[in-house]
Chain A
Amino acid sequence: MSKETARALVVGGGVAGMQAALDIANQGFKVYLVERSPSIGGRMAMLDKTFPTLDCSACILTPKLSEIARHPNIRLMTCAEVGSVTGSAGNFRVKLRRKARFVRENLCSGCGACSAECPVEVANEFDQGLGFRKAIYTPFPQATPNVYTVDKENCIDCSRCVKVCERNAIDLEMKDSFVNLDVGTIIIATGFELFDVSRYPRLGYGQYPNVIHAMEFERLINAAGPTHGHLIRLSDGKKPKSIGFIQCVGARDVQKGVPYCSRVCCMYSIKNAVMALEHNPEAEVWVYYADIRAFGKGFEEFYEMAKSRFGVRFVRGRVAEVMEGKSSHDLVVKVEDTATSKLRLIEHDLVVISPGVIPSSGMDTMAKKIGIDQTNDGYIEISHTFFGPTITKIPGVFVCGCADGPKDIPDSVSAGSAAAMKATIILSSGGT
């Protein structure tokens, strides 16, 4: 491997990919960090607080975002996707598709004048569709790079943004482009997606306005979210007095094709239950679960605190059905409390479903392009549990974070560092 190819490619700009990129770059190697959305930060940027310390997620993440942005060894490429991969360890050639963002990155200062002028308002995916953004936008205030993007599907080509931009950064005629990268090693950190909980019609998601999923809840309680952190019901804007959290939806379910445990839902729901009480100490909060899996450092202690200090009520039982009142949009959860063997009907004015974790969309195509194997669940297959938990079957290609299975933040961060270690061994030794 020549000096030219002593570079790494990291695919995915979530917390695992960011950590991997930083640990490679800190050893003096160049890294391309490729992210398909307009900003790095991944799912963690959307979360409100993190378990078990209730750290504000965005607040602990943003220093990493700016570290990436200013690192001299990291070349950040957003709105970009892997097109094809050829070659072998030490000498990969990667064709990258750079999707037109219709704003020239080198000219945009992120001033936001364009967005203020834009007449089009659409639902903001970053807020899970609960808030609005313009057709020219950044997903969130600390988006990195701080460059605007035109959502061409919703843009009406009025060109008002073009006129108002003092730096002439906007080009509505921009086309997708392709770049070739020569790299010695590749790290896959493509993360996860949430299971579509409307596939359980009996739980009412998508039918009843006050049944929401956990990521929507995160945005609702977030001070930078669509309600400025006011926890309200979507039907009438009232403060919910009784909230139920439903666990294992799209997880540990053979019939729905997700037989595995999603590993994070127990803890994020306990955290969300505690946050609901922080927002409204008078509320009643219930969690319906199968097993509480509080297995990580400080997790059991947090679970205990949720029960004893906050008074979150835990009911062991899989929810049979969520029903809605005729006029009020209030809800009733039907569940067998298996600890007492009693069938119960419990009234709530808000129900939060905890969706399981599934591989990110596009995983199949990407795995094929690179030639790596997938498990039955669709995640990337690792070479060996003990010898190579971050190594794939293709030499020189590594994996970290949720790309090879659900993980929480610290486990994703550790795996990011571990994959970086493996990648730099290749970069320093000059090949396979």
Chain B
Amino acid sequence: MSGTEDEPRIGVFVCHCGHNIAGTVDVEAVAHMASNLPGVAFAADEMFMCSDAGQTLIKEKIKEHNLNRVVVASCSPRMHEPTFRRVVEEAGLNRYLFDQVNLREHVSWCHMREPELATEKAIDLVRMSVARASKLQNLPIKKVNVLPTTLVVGGGIAGLRASLDIADRGFDVLLVEKTPKLGGNVAKWTHLFPSDETGADIIKPLIRDVKKNKRIKILTESKVSEFDGYIGNFGVTVKNLKTEKEERYEVGAVIVTTGFEPFKPVGYYSYGESPDILTLAELQELPRSEQLLKISNGKPVKKVVFIGCVGSRQPGVKGHEHCSRHCCSATAKAAADLRDRVDEVLVLYQDIRTYGKGHEEFHRMARQKHVIYSKFPQNEYPDVIVKKSKITIKWRDVLADEDLEFEPDMVVLASAMIPPEDVEETSHLFSLTRSGDGFFNPEHIKLAPLTTHTAGVMIAGAAQAAKNASESVIDASGAAAKAVGLMAQGEVEIESTVSHVIPELCSSCHTCLTACAYNAISMDETKDPPIAVVTEAKCHGCGTCAAACPSSAIVMYHSTDDQILTMVEAFLCPSPSIQGGG
């Protein structure tokens, strides 16, 4: 490994990204400018730096020109920083002797219509990065052990599935459920639409297997009250809600499967004004019977109306803009089934989203059984009027272009899936962020739907977004694979771009403790006065503490004051040999 004390010999590689960057930025000019910068031993442009050819080029040039720093000017480091760090490492350099400039998201994509100015900006950014590169230092590569137990939070269908898979794979599980019983929402449903099974058919065998499995420790009526530590080594305090007793556990990974709550549509369609107006979830919980009976007086139901998108798809209403995904298919199946037992079934809808496997067939079956589908206009919702225990519903049918009226015996509101009441608490506990729908954000919405920004904490099922039971089961097994991946390896690399307190400068003011959003800083009370210390595995490298520290006692590795100020200087005072920019 080349030392960091050597004279910098920097290699600069400017990526075309096909036409993505080169279509706007004059990449050749950027590379040419870079070749004249102090410390730069080699500069070139290349079609795709992330391609095998690009990676090989970096490695060859490191050898050929004895480079000891590498700058790649390409895309956002969020995607390819790991790729290029590995490349320089394979060529014998410390991975932290690499710096990436974002010429795509920060330049070509946002300044597409101003190519000349974009090129100037690219030149500025590369010049700053080269200045920073000359100040980069070797940082150690660190690993931490992973404890072979996973905490699963929530004992619904996703939590049960994840627990079983992990245990079957030979690792231990701590399953924590806040209610007295396992099974979650699915267990309550006598009709698990859109399937033919009851919730119990599905959930009982799972509960049986979970209870039988020696590797799974079940804690019902319990909640996680404290959570700390870092990937591989989390500390969990679980509180028994009945006895209020707390117990401490240590786990290596976490899967959050806290699910959803059916939205209680108070204020929508006279919900609450008649017992015969109920939600789809409540319908699914009715006892199975030959005949569908009115809740109000026990008489047989002859006419049923379903209303879709209740508390879903309402732009501008916080936590309700999302589509609840499961309801259209569940409604289609419920309507088709009920049609065998009642005279008329109506479904009032905005769009029919029977997207899933076999779901379009349920919709078709409902129509064949003469379930009547009627589309109501967007933002012109049906009126449900309850008068002397009689329900009247009035709406506009878009397709017939007519105002219609109907007197059903029962109204079923397909209400939204929303996050459970205590979602805020869960999100703070595990440092999870939430999206507009109120559910937890995955690490990446396309390619990392099961992991989160808290390393070692996974999400599965309806904790992530509205979804049906089958999809939740798939998620659960997938999240289990992520947890097992960590546990099976037994150790995991952690970032070295963390903050560090210089003990001699710490004034014991505690400012950094309050500034840190990740609880990564604590006070070493054995010192007098106590001195701040950073738990590196918990540090996200955000730099808030370093900025807040009034004594300049905190160093952000890889973003030191010296490295940042060099960039500022390079921006303000370009060396005279450089054309353009500044």
Contact B447 A15 (CB under 8 A): yes
Contact B480 A421 (CB under 8 A): yes
User: Which residue of the partner chain, among A144, A308, A389, A419, contacts B52 with CB atoms under 8 Å?
Assistant: A144
- A145–chain B nearest beta-carbon distance, Å: 8
Contact B481 A111 (CB under 8 A): no
- B323: Cβ under 8 A from any A Cβ: yes
- A206: Cβ under 8 A from any B Cβ: no
- B86: Cβ under 8 A from any A Cβ: yes
Contact A297 B353 (CB under 8 A): no
Known A-B contacts A341-B401, A409-B447; the reply to A291 vs B321 at CB < 8 A is: no
The chain A residue sitting closest to B482, CB to CB, is A417
What 1/0 flags go to B335-368 for Cβ under 8 Å of A?
A: 0000000000000000111111111110010000
Binding site for B on A (CB under 8 A): 15, 23, 26-28, 50, 52-53, 55-56, 59-64, 66, 69-70, 109-112, 141-146, 222-224, 228-229, 252, 254, 259-261, 263, 291-301, 304, 308, 338-341, 385-387, 389-390, 404-405, 409-411, 413-422, 424-425, 428-429
- B216–chain A nearest beta-carbon distance, Å: 15
State in angstroms the CA–CA spacing of A416 and B398 once bound together. 41
State in angstroms the CA–CA spacing of A390 and B17 once bound together. 37
Contacts of A53 in B (CB 8 A): 445-446
Contact B323 A111 (CB under 8 A): no
Contact B436 A301 (CB under 8 A): yes
- B167–chain A nearest beta-carbon distance, Å: 10
6 residue pairs A–B, Cβ–Cβ below 8 Å:
A63-B80, A291-B351, A300-B312, A308-B315, A414-B450, A421-B169
- B399: Cβ under 8 A from any A Cβ: yes
What 1/0 flags go to B6-35 for Cβ under 8 Å of A?
A: 000000000001111001000000000000
Q: Which B411-427 residues have C-beta < 8 A from chain A?
A: none
The chain A residue sitting closest to B322, CB to CB, is A300
Known A-B contacts A109-B56, A261-B355, A415-B478; the reply to A421 vs B195 at CB < 8 A is: no
Contact A417 B86 (CB under 8 A): no
Contact A27 B474 (CB under 8 A): no
- B297: Cβ under 8 A from any A Cβ: no
Contact B399 A341 (CB under 8 A): yes
User: When A and B form their complex, which 8 residue pairs have the shortest distance between CB atoms, in order from nearest?
Assistant: A417-B478, A146-B52, A224-B18, A418-B477, A297-B465, A421-B481, A223-B19, A228-B19
- B83: Cβ under 8 A from any A Cβ: yes
Q: Which of A56, A297, A415 has the most CB of B within 10 A?
A: A297
Known A-B contacts A224-B18, A224-B19, A228-B19; the reply to A390 vs B477 at CB < 8 A is: yes
- B79: Cβ under 8 A from any A Cβ: yes
State in angstroms the CA–CA spacing of A404 and B471 once bound together. 13
Contacts of A70 in B (CB 8 A): 86
Contact B360 A141 (CB under 8 A): no
User: Which residue of the partner chain, among A28, A69, A291, contacts B488 with CB atoms under 8 Å?
Assistant: A28
Known A-B contacts A28-B488, A414-B449, A425-B169; the reply to A261 vs B481 at CB < 8 A is: no
Contacts of B489 in A (CB 8 A): 26-28
State in angstroms the CA–CA spacing of A389 and B445 once bound together. 21
State in angstroms the CA–CA spacing of A418 and B255 once bound together. 14
The chain B residue sitting closest to A258, CB to CB, is B360
Contact B47 A141 (CB under 8 A): yes
Contact A304 B315 (CB under 8 A): yes
The chain A residue sitting closest to B449, CB to CB, is A410
State in angstroms the CA–CA spacing of A233 and B413 once bound together. 47
State in angstroms the CA–CA spacing of A366 and B165 once bound together. 28
- B435: Cβ under 8 A from any A Cβ: yes
- B53: Cβ under 8 A from any A Cβ: yes
Contacts of A110 in B (CB 8 A): 52-53, 56
- B89–chain A nearest beta-carbon distance, Å: 11
Contact A62 B50 (CB under 8 A): yes
State in angstroms the CA–CA spacing of A223 and B75 once bound together. 14
Q: Which B288-343 residues have C-beta < 8 A from chain A?
A: 312-313, 315, 321-323, 325, 328
Contacts of A338 in B (CB 8 A): 398-399
Contact B315 A223 (CB under 8 A): no
- A11–chain B nearest beta-carbon distance, Å: 18
Contact A390 B474 (CB under 8 A): yes
Known A-B contacts A52-B445, A224-B18, A260-B360; the reply to A66 vs B55 at CB < 8 A is: yes
- B355–chain A nearest beta-carbon distance, Å: 5
- A285–chain B nearest beta-carbon distance, Å: 19
Interface SS, A side: loop
- B479: Cβ under 8 A from any A Cβ: yes
- B292–chain A nearest beta-carbon distance, Å: 25
Contacts of B51 in A (CB 8 A): 62, 141-143, 146
Contact A297 B481 (CB under 8 A): no
Contact B471 A69 (CB under 8 A): no
- A383–chain B nearest beta-carbon distance, Å: 12
Contact B195 A386 (CB under 8 A): yes
The chain A residue sitting closest to B349, CB to CB, is A291
Contact B475 A259 (CB under 8 A): no
Contact B449 A413 (CB under 8 A): yes
State in angstroms the CA–CA spacing of A424 and B360 once bound together. 34
Contact B435 A261 (CB under 8 A): no
Contact A224 B488 (CB under 8 A): no
Contact B80 A62 (CB under 8 A): yes
- B444: Cβ under 8 A from any A Cβ: yes
State in angstroms the CA–CA spacing of A415 and B467 once bound together. 14
State in angstroms the CA–CA spacing of A210 and B399 once bound together. 31
Contacts of B401 in A (CB 8 A): 340-341
- B168: Cβ under 8 A from any A Cβ: yes
Contact A64 B478 (CB under 8 A): no
Contacts of A62 in B (CB 8 A): 50-51, 79-80, 83
- B555: Cβ under 8 A from any A Cβ: no
Contact A141 B435 (CB under 8 A): no
Contact A424 B484 (CB under 8 A): yes
Known A-B contacts A110-B52, A296-B465, A421-B169; the reply to A291 vs B352 at CB < 8 A is: yes
State in angstroms the CA–CA spacing of A121 and B273 once bound together. 73
Contacts of A60 in B (CB 8 A): 79, 444, 446-447
- B405–chain A nearest beta-carbon distance, Å: 20
- B450–chain A nearest beta-carbon distance, Å: 6
User: Which residue of the partner chain, among B53, B360, B471, B473, contacts A261 with CB atoms under 8 Å?
Assistant: B360
Contact B353 A417 (CB under 8 A): no
- B202: Cβ under 8 A from any A Cβ: yes
The chain A residue sitting closest to B55, CB to CB, is A66
Contacts of B263 in A (CB 8 A): none
Contacts of B448 in A (CB 8 A): 413
Contact B53 A146 (CB under 8 A): yes
User: Which residue of the partner chain, among A64, A143, A301, A390, contacts B321 with CB atoms under 8 Å?
Assistant: A301
Contact A421 B52 (CB under 8 A): no
Contacts of A299 in B (CB 8 A): 323
Contact B474 A389 (CB under 8 A): yes
State in angstroms the CA–CA spacing of A3 and B170 once bound together. 17
- A4–chain B nearest beta-carbon distance, Å: 19
- B18–chain A nearest beta-carbon distance, Å: 3
Contacts of B86 in A (CB 8 A): 70
Q: Which of A260, A339, A418, A420 has the most CB of B within 10 A?
A: A418
State in angstroms the CA–CA spacing of A416 and B485 once bound together. 14
Known A-B contacts A259-B360, A291-B353, A417-B450; the reply to A385 vs B195 at CB < 8 A is: yes
